[in-house]
Structure 1
Amino acid sequence: MNRIRLVATATALAAASLGALLPCSAYADDAPSPCTSLKRIVAAAPGGLASLTPDDGKGVAQPYGDDAQCSASRGSYQCTWTPHHDAGSNADALQAVAADVASCLPDATHDQNSPGRQHFYLGAKGKRTDITLTPTGANKLRLVVSGK
């Protein structure tokens, strides 16, 4: 019986020691998802966009770029970022983000689909939320969510 306790205690101590030695790891699940971020931003529109923080939109960009700079104003929320090199061209990255918008917001109408601009809208006139994706400069993308 003592031998079993000794083995159990040694195993528990070894596991605890190993856990203490391992660095804390970040997992893919720790990053905000594009859907969570998009839904949070759209839920704030049209009147509450100014209440959003710069971090609220970073989840939209994170699958494609790490340097998202986001800002909020009374009428819009925007993020600009540089796509990863493995995301392909700006047009490819633009299409990928547009696919996220379409899948995360199935009620959105996708009324413009071109290599230079992706546009979606939600809601009726007068309370419409616009979502626009465009390339900016040679290697950046911009997301703008605005409410009317």
Structure 2
Amino acid sequence: MHPIGRRAACAALLPLCFGVLATTSARADDTPSPCDALKRIVAAAPNFSSLSAIDGRAVALPYGDDAKCAASQTNYRCTWTPHGGSSADALQGVAADIASCLPDATHDQNSPARQHFYLGARGARTEIAAAQAGSNKLKLEIYGSR
């Protein structure tokens, strides 16, 4: 191909490439953050009734697409089916997200079936439990009093 022809082809493709990159990065920015979701839920404690079912879905999204969440006055709970891999691996991933997103949380239980964290002093704690729920489900529950 002639050098001028290559330049013309590259010049024609360059805007297309930037358009694809811009679209891809826009989608990545639209992905809800598990950290933002965890912080929002914990900040609502001890009364979670101001939250909606959608508030916790971002915590599950890296691990499963079918999260069902519900808020009550005393807790916030989500359950989902992990996609690909084992529920034990997904549980470890959720625990890692909790630990990194909430660095002030104390991780006081670490087992293959259950992870438990808490924030705050005794009598005014917010507790976070992530656990296997049946053979192929995970459950996240945040509860507490302040």
Q: What TM-score range do you get, normalising by the shorter chain?
A: 0.7 to 0.9
Number of the residue aligned with 2:38: 38
Number of the residue aligned with 1:6: none
SS of residue matched to 2:135: coil
Matched, 1:106 2:103: yes
> For the residues of structure 2 that align with 1:28 and 1:68, how far apart are their CA atoms?
20
TM-score normalized by structure 1? 0.79
SS of residue matched to 1:144: strand
- Structure 1's unaligned 5+ residue stretches are 1-14
Aligned partner letter, 1:144: E
SS of residue matched to 1:27: helix
2:87 aligned residue (80, 87, 90): 90
Deviation of residue 137 (structure 1)? 1.2
Q: How many residues align?
A: 124
- Structure 2's unaligned 5+ residue stretches are 1-14
> For the residues of structure 1 that align with 2:65 and 2:27, how far apart are their CA atoms?
15
> For the residues of structure 1 that align with 2:27 and 2:138, how far apart are their CA atoms?
25
> For the residues of structure 2 that align with 1:72 and 1:128, how far apart are their CA atoms?
18
1:133 aligned residue (108, 126, 130): 130
Aligned partner letter, 2:73: R
Q: CA RMSD in A?
A: 1.5
Aligned partner letter, 1:33: S
Aligned partner letter, 1:117: R
> For the residues of structure 1 that align with 2:123 and 2:51, how far apart are their CA atoms?
21
Aligned partner letter, 1:95: Q
> For the residues of structure 2 that align with 1:81 and 1:28, how far apart are their CA atoms?
22
Number of the residue aligned with 2:143: 146
Deviation of residue 102 (structure 1)? 0.1
Aligned partner letter, 2:103: P
Deviation of residue 115 (structure 1)? 0.4
